[in-house]
Each structure stands twice: as C-alpha cells, then as structure tokens.
Structure 1
Amino acid sequence: MVEYPEELPDNIYERVIDLSVQGNLFLDSGDALSAVNVWCEALALLPSPKDNWEACLWLNASLGEAYRVEGQLEEAKACLLDALNCPDGHVNPFVLLRLGQTLVDLGDENAGVDYLLRAYMLEGEEIFEEDAQYLQLLRNRKLVD
C-alpha cells in the first residue's frame, strides 16, 4: 500500500490556494465559467489519488456551485458527488445542501430530500436562508417543523 503525505507540498498548496481565490473572485463577479477553468486547473495539481486531499473537497464543492450557477446541473451533480467522497465530504453541510438541491432540480426529489435533510440536521434552518423553497420541501414532507 502506498502512503501519502498528510499535507500537500508547499508549492502545490500555494498554487491551489491562489487559483481558488481567483475562482472565488470570478464567481463573485458573475463569471462562473472562468471560475470553473481555474478550479479545474487547481484540481489537476493535486497528486493522485485526488480524493485523499482536503483541497479536493472544496474545489469540487466550488465547481458544483459554479456549474449550478450556470444551470449545468449534471456537471454540478458529478462534482458534488466527487466532493462527497473526499475527506469529510459526507458531513459537509454545504456539499450536502448543494447536492440535495441539485438532485431535486434534476427531478430526483427523493434522493435530494435525503441530502437536504442531512444538511438540515448538521446546520439547521440557517443553511436554507437563501433557498427557502428547499426547506419548505422538507416541511411539506413533515420531516422538519
């Protein structure tokens, strides 16, 4: 079995952080496609297996968010599922929320509700602040008050 270092080498880590910040700036300015490009570049820098790295979690979560903004829900789903499989991805409220929303929006309401409920159980109503219709979906199913 191959053992991997616990932390990324400094040169890779610094470049990944720089690209992540650039992606955030692009997304905040409304340029989701440029954000996708720099986050994909950052993801490509991670040593294999990529899903061993914490950076893989937030890069894939960010990619999922950008693809959602662009309405590319299948791509968003794929990235969010990748994030879910990264270290602590299965307990990351943001990943669970966005995956649930994406699945609901794709028409897989039952699977989506499962992830939305997980996000709710970790963070409560606050996580739905900007997306009240998904909280209402949980209420309609009598899963939350």
Structure 2
Amino acid sequence: MHELPEETHTEIQRLSAAGDQRAAASQFAEALPLYWAAWDLLPEPKTQWEAATWILAAVGDANFLAGDYEAGRDNLSKAMHCPDAVGNPFLHLRLGQCQFELGASDRAVDELMRAYMGDGGKVFEGQDPKYLRFLQTKAKGVSPPKKPWQFWK
C-alpha cells in the first residue's frame, strides 16, 4: 500500500483533530466540514487509504451522535470499503446502531453481531443498553456485559 505524502498526512491529521475536538464538544455541525476537508485531501481512489477508514469513521460517528442515521449509515457503509474496516468492532457497532434506528432490523442484527463478535461485547460498554438488548433478542449466545448494572438500568 502506498503512503500519503507527509505534508498531506499532517494536514489530514490536523483537520481530523480539529473535527474531533468539536465532536467531543457535541458540535457535530462544526466537526463535519473539518472531516470532509480532510477527506478531500485524499488522492483518488480515496477508499484505498488507511486515513479514509478513520475519516469516514469519524464522519459516521458524528452523524450518529447528531441523530442523522441515514447519513451515518451511508458514510459507515462507505467506510467498509476502506482498509481494515471490515471486522472493526466500533465501525460495525455504529453501522448497526444506525440500521437499528432506521428500522432495518436484519441489517442491524448483522452489524451489531459483528461488533459483538469482534471484541466479546466490550464495544457496547457506555452505549445505550437498547442495542445489546435488541441483539440478545435476535441472536443466541449473546451474554450481558460483565457489569450488568452499567447497562440494564
């Protein structure tokens, strides 16, 4: 795999970090243009670069947290065509959550199960318990978290 030119990589990191700061402050509308500016710096084909995976993950995460589940689904689905995305528990979690919120139960189960299988369910920690409860109703062998009082309140 080719590497990005150092100058491009540095600017992508700067823009992404600025986007992350805004997202951490729940300023998703301000974060998204910074992530897209980083995306625009990627040479074509954009999906061949490792940076594409984490940029689209950040975009999809911001979409989800802002309640824009359609955009989240679309951006996270696109991320799945980037390096090391398939099998990434966080990406599968967020995509599954978007699918769940959009009423696509079968797709939600598939993605949430991939997230669960990727790390034994740790990725569900700190998430709304409805996602893991939903998965438990659809799939055998899904155990509650080790500290159930964190999730089943």
CA distance, structure 2, for counterparts of residue 57 and residue 142 of structure 1: 28
Deviation at 1:87, TM superposition (A): 0.7
Deviation at 1:124, TM superposition (A): 1.3
CA distance, structure 1, for counterparts of residue 55 and residue 75 of structure 2: 9
Q: Provide the secondary structure at the position in 2 that maps to 1:90.
A: coil
Q: What fraction of aligned residue pairs are identical, expressed as a percent?
A: 36
Task: Return the match for 1:134 from 119, 131, 134.
Answer: 131
Divergent runs of 4+, >6 A: none
CA distance, structure 1, for counterparts of residue 135 and residue 58 of structure 2: 25
Q: Provide the secondary structure at the position in 2 that maps to 1:89.
A: coil
Q: Counterpart amino acid of 1:124?
A: G
Q: 2:78 maps to which residue? A: 82
- How many residues matched? 141
CA distance, structure 2, for counterparts of residue 113 and residue 86 of structure 1: 22
CA distance, structure 2, for counterparts of residue 94 and residue 142 of structure 1: 19
Q: Counterpart amino acid of 2:107?
A: A
Provide the TM-score with structure 2 as the length reference: 0.89
Q: Counterpart amino acid of 1:139?
A: Q
Task: Render the CA deviation track for 1:65-111: whole Å, top value 9, x for unaligned.
Answer: 11112211111111101111101111111110000010010000111
Q: Unmatched 5+ residue regions in structure 1?
A: none
Q: 2:24 maps to which residue? A: 28
Provide the TM-score with structure 1 as the length reference: 0.93
Q: Unmatched 5+ residue regions in structure 2?
A: 144-153
Q: Counterpart amino acid of 1:140?
A: T
Question: What is the correspondence of 1:65-144 to structure 2 with a 5 Å cutoff?
Answer: 65-131=61-127, 132-143=129-140, 144=142
Q: Provide the secondary structure at the position in 2 that maps to 1:91.
A: coil
